[in-house]
Structure 1
Amino acid sequence: MFPKTLIGFLLAGTTALPALGEEISWIYCGDRIDPVHEKYIGEWDAANPDYPIAVEVVGWAQCQDKATTLAAAGSPAALAYVGSRTLKEFALSELIVPVPMTEEEKAAYFPHVVDTVTFDDTQWGVPIAFSTKALYWNKDLFAKAGLDPETPPKTWAEEIEFAKVITDKTGVPGYGLSAKSFDNTMHQFLHWVYTNNGKVIDAEDNIVLDSPETLAALQAYKDITPYSVEGATAYEQNEMRAIFLDSKVAMLQASVGAAMLLKDTEMNWGVTTLPLGPSADGPGTLLITDSLAVFADSGVEEKAAEFAKFITSPEIQIEYELSPDLGLTPTRPSERVDELVAEVPYWQPFIEGIAFGGPEPLFTDYKGLQNVMIDMVQSVVTGSAEPQAALTKAAEALEEYK
């Protein structure tokens, strides 16, 4: 069963036509409306007085659940900020409508960004926030361990070896591995998968997790665990970032937000592309997006989709992405991005990793996927399972959730 679209309503002879002169409700995640969005909402309202934007700000913890609950109850918001990972589930549940992109629109984005919102060759959301990761290292800890402080690891083998040397010679953990029962434990591992040319699910919905590429990533996790912060299952990525900022771990994979925190500190640090596995084609990273989803049965689907594309248009989006407190990666290449990389060198690895990166996998039950992946990682990190056994078990379990 495919989701309902506005055209589908018309062909079916229903009365679910766009209302004339109706507000577009937007469930907006956060504690306030970003000033960039607030400015351009004003511009939209001035140009579209019959379709004003009515924003409801909802905290991150409740935001997506509220959008889902309203839609399932038959009283949806017109538009909601959602994790793109949920789009497939929303689409198959007929809660959202497609927001197709032209070939020109798709080509404007960095490679694979559109893949994060694409299911069944159709786009189900418009990317509004984008995150990539890179490797940070503490140069002083490298020097203290006798390593060249200006030469970060370029491969997994070097990363594991450097982590061991630092741990052995300084007593400070060499690497910050996060394995808490939290969504970013899966994300952190997927960065390793995508720096070794691995996948979780292919375009035909086949589970391809149990592969040599992913096995190598899980084996590398096992190998680096002894040189990471003790008790990795107690930490999620932001907690591990705090440990790195306190100079109590030597290497960490994190977003550009960490650089924005580090640039005003006294730490002697560097950042580079994520180290590569033996099967990598080039620098990679997990590509995570949040997107604007247009919900079915609001009566203003067409105008909501128009607004979603307006508020994420290139000129507005780059202004939003470069808000200093967000720590986002730009979604599209542009002269402004080129200038940014030239002006602020720490941006380069976050852009460079996109070309060989991969999207967050789209499953019909995202939480099921997440739990399986976290269990797999934790079983290897704690030593309760060997990598191959954990991988095979996880691949079999994921069949239920695809």
Structure 2
Amino acid sequence: MKKRLVGGLVLALAVSSLLGGCGEKATTSEKPETGKTKIRFATWDTAGDVDKQQAMVDKFNAEHDDIEVTMEAYGQDFDTKISAGMGSGDAPDVMYMWNYPAYHEGLEPLDSYIEKEGQEYKDNIYEALWPYNSIDGATYGIPVGFTTHVLFYNKDLFAQAGVEEPTADWTWDDLREAAKIIADNTDAKGLAFSMKPDPYDFEMFLWSNGAAYCDAEGKLEGNLNSEKSKEVFQMFQDMEKEGYAVATEKSGTDEFRSQQAAMYIYGAWSINDFKADGLNFGLVDIPAFKDADHDSVSILSTSGIAMSKDSKNKDAAWEFVKFWTGEWASKERIGSEMPALYNVVESEKIMENPEFAPFYTMLEQSAGYTPTSFIIDNWSEVSESLALSFEQVFNPSSLQDVGPVLDEAVAE
């Protein structure tokens, strides 16, 4: 997965402005009088991933006498080209998608298409993924892949400190105790985390403690600065103050990879790098809060596939969407995308793979949570402000009191 669903929806206002000027386009499939129906498909991937995707597109084309798909690889220019295409009414028929809050006005609602496929079609896709591909109750994308977050740990450092490795039933108290022992008995810190965490990601810790940034109406007051929320921020700050956790400039990946930290919490993006390094690591569910009445919760980073509302060939586009999100294609992407289909996870015995299973356990535990980025219209500005507030709490040069910082954050 090359795109993350991140907190800063930096293109939201620009895209909204562009979409507001779009005229109405044809909404039914139009097949040329001769030849195949032409479909454009935009991907954000690069290099070898694009070659693999092209081979998959070629298979679709070979199997369809009436449809021809042309793949357009946008790479780092993906967002720029998608927003420009939507603004000019020339967006690709089908495209990868992650930033639904910014782009949904240019996308075709897919609920009627899904309904025609039957309930079994929808039920075969992990429940927790649907809200991340929907806005205001309408579905705009079909899930392709995802990552949740898990706890990564260094087996060698745990052995060196004489600490038993983490288990799925760990609480944060267990993590803190282990982190202290590791810091006291090795040259590493017990835990690494970001001193300026992405607000989109960090909300999962509040969810795990029965809190959130906002309520269903988008109200921050009484939510972000609730006692349950403050407990989470205080816990991380205390670990840093007590010297067994380190707040880093980035995600903590560098510190974990260089064995300067024995644990950190992150998505699946760095697994291949760790394996290439020969790092002796494991991964397990995120610890739960001792007094919470539920398991730990993770934010999701998803990739979906969506259809342009301006496509003149929507029936053909839907055929390609079904192909790209179907069983065969999902199996082909294993290794670059975690499958979103229950039947593929079962048939490929993915839950027996210790490198994959915790991500799915966290996925199932995380159903029913809606990120604040999907609730608040001006999330881009709110996210920037929250990131600065969080840095005041965790930056080792400041370590400001949690309560006043969060109270001020909701008042801005």
Match of 2:260 in 1: 248
Of 89, 101, 109, 2:125 maps to 109
Distance in 2, matches of 1:230 and 1:291, equals 34
- CA distances 1:174-218 after superposition (whole Å, capped 9, x unpaired): 1111245xxx72344233234334334455555544444333222
Match of 1:7 in 2: none
Distance in 1, matches of 2:24 and 2:353, equals 56
Question: 1:67-216 residue pairs with structure 2 within 5 A?
Answer: 67-83=82-98, 86-91=99-104, 94-100=105-111, 101-102=114-115, 103-149=119-165, 154-180=170-196, 185-207=198-220, 208-216=223-231
Question: 1:301-380 residue pairs with structure 2 within 5 A?
Answer: 301-320=314-333, 322-323=334-335, 326=336, 328-334=337-343, 336-337=345-346, 339-341=348-350, 343-357=352-366, 358-360=369-371, 361-362=373-374, 363-380=376-393
Letter of the aligned partner of 2:228 in structure 1?
E
Change (3 A) 1:213 1:301: farther
Aligned-residue RMSD, C-alpha:
3.2
SS in 1 for 2:198: helix
Letter of the aligned partner of 1:99 in structure 2?
L
TM-score (norm 2): 0.78
Percent of paired sites with the same residue: 20
Offset of 1:136 from its aligned partner?
Answer: 1.4
Letter of the aligned partner of 1:334 in structure 2?
N
Question: 1:42-53 residue pairs with structure 2 within 5 A?
Answer: 42-53=58-69
| Number of residue equivalences | 372
Change (3 A) 1:267 1:317: closer
Distance in 2, matches of 1:255 and 1:295, equals 29
Change (3 A) 1:336 1:126: closer
SS in 2 for 1:216: helix
Change (3 A) 1:106 1:283: farther
Distance in 2, matches of 1:82 and 1:72, equals 16
SS in 2 for 1:271: strand
TM-score (norm 1): 0.80
Match of 1:220 in 2: 235
Offset of 1:231 from its aligned partner?
Answer: 5.6
Distance in 2, matches of 1:330 and 1:16, equals 31
Change (3 A) 1:370 1:338: farther
CA contact (8 A) 1:167 1:174 kept: yes
SS in 1 for 2:103: helix
Match of 2:309 in 1: 296
Change (3 A) 1:70 1:392: farther
- CA distances 1:78-105 after superposition (whole Å, capped 9, x unpaired): 222222xx213323xx322211133433
CA contact (8 A) 2:125 2:143 kept: no
Change (3 A) 1:151 1:314: closer
Deviates more, 1:249-258 or 1:145-154: 145-154
Offset of 1:346 from its aligned partner?
Answer: 3.1
Unaligned ranges ≥5, structure 2:
1-15, 17-22
Offset of 1:307 from its aligned partner?
Answer: 1.9
Letter of the aligned partner of 1:147 in structure 2?
V
- CA distances 1:36-65 after superposition (whole Å, capped 9, x unpaired): 533332233234444421211112x32122
Letter of the aligned partner of 2:386 in structure 1?
M
Letter of the aligned partner of 1:252 in structure 2?
Y
Change (3 A) 1:231 1:273: closer
Change (3 A) 1:306 1:30: same
Letter of the aligned partner of 2:401 in structure 1?
E
Change (3 A) 1:386 1:66: farther
Offset of 1:251 from its aligned partner?
Answer: 0.3
